[in-house]
Amino acid sequence: MLMCHPGGPGFAGAELEDLGGLAETRELMLVDPRGTGSSPRPDDPTAYRTDDYVADLEELREHLALERIDLLGFSHGGIVAIAYAAAHPARVRKLVLAATVAAVTDELAAEIERAKAARAAEPWFADAADALDREERGDYDESDFGGLWRAMAPLYFSRWDERHRPWLDRSGDGSSPAPLKVFNAEQFDVRPDLARIEAETLVVAGAHDFICGPVAARTIADGVARAELVVLDDSGHMLFLEQPDEFRGAVESFLSG
């Protein structure tokens, strides 16, 4: 079984669907993080910090009576997975960090701006950039969170294609804006956790990921003792949608090895 933590924060496990067909060869446990999908919202509206998510994963592992787990973290879920594997190194057999980031460094910030500039001529860019700015400022609420995500989403692909529209319309099911507001209001840096990870680790990134691209991936891979880095040439952030065969192959080969 592969335990899978989705991104956002604020998206439910349904965002990941079958992970590019990985469900054909692996039993996937798609986690609904606190406040999303079938998981209730915490009484404390600010209880969406990394340590909270790590505690939830450990509680889930204990509930399932699993001695060790294979863990995949996508996007924000990768931050959680890094922190979990560092806090509970004996509990993780293999770790997959997909399209994620350990810290926003100056080098990564420059890569983000270059990637955004490369998309500036796209017909959807103005709306996407405006939505991204609103998201970063916290200028949204429950009623327009879905619309904000649909406007931003093309930025997360190497090349936006309307064939992804059905996934986009489904991906917000069970989502919540509260975790993202908490996350954006605070600084994060899990680079100190990387050296404490003992599990064999696969880091997968899209070459054209505007937010968690190769710079972010190399920082993680360089910091983990037993890490392998795979960069998918024709993908943005949504690896399992844009290059499902390549993503599935890399992850399955790693987990089977």
Beta carbons of 37 and 8 less than 8 angstroms apart: no
Distance CA 130, CA 54 (A): 32
Question: Which two three-digit tokens encode residue 104?
Answer: 């926003």
Whole-number pLDDT of residue 90: 98
Bridge-based pairing of strands 69-74 and 2-5 is parallel
pLDDT at position 257 is: 87
The tens digit of pLDDT for each residue in 222-257 reads 999 999 999 999 999 999 999 999 999 999 999 998
pLDDT band at residue 142, thresholds of 50, 70 and 90? confident
Write the pLDDT tens digit of every residue in 186-197.
889 999 999 999
Judge whether residue 66 has pLDDT over 90: yes
Going by pLDDT thresholds of 50, 70 and 90, the confidence category of residue 141 is: confident
Please state the rounded mean pLDDT for residues 154-181.
94
Q: Which amino acid is at 153?
A: A
Residue 92, strand partner residues = 69
pLDDT at 80: 98
Structural domains of the chain sorted by starting position, each given as residue range(s) with its CATH number in brackets: 2-107+181-256 (3.40.50.1820)
Reported as half-sphere exposure (CB side, CA atoms, 13 A), residue 118 has a value of 18
Contact 101, 194 (CB under 8 A): no
Q: Give all strands (DSSP E) within 100-226, no chain letters.
A: 200-206
Are 1 and 26 in contact by the 8 Å Cβ rule? The answer is: yes
Q: Mean pLDDT, to the nearest integer, of 168-179? A: 92
- Does residue 85 carry a pLDDT above 90? yes
| pLDDT tens, position by position, 99-125 | 999 999 999 999 999 999 999 999 999
Closest CA to 52 of 11, 86, 21, 83: 83
* pLDDT tens digits along 5-39: 999 999 999 999 999 999 999 999 999 999 999 99
**Would you state the pLDDT for residue 135?**
92
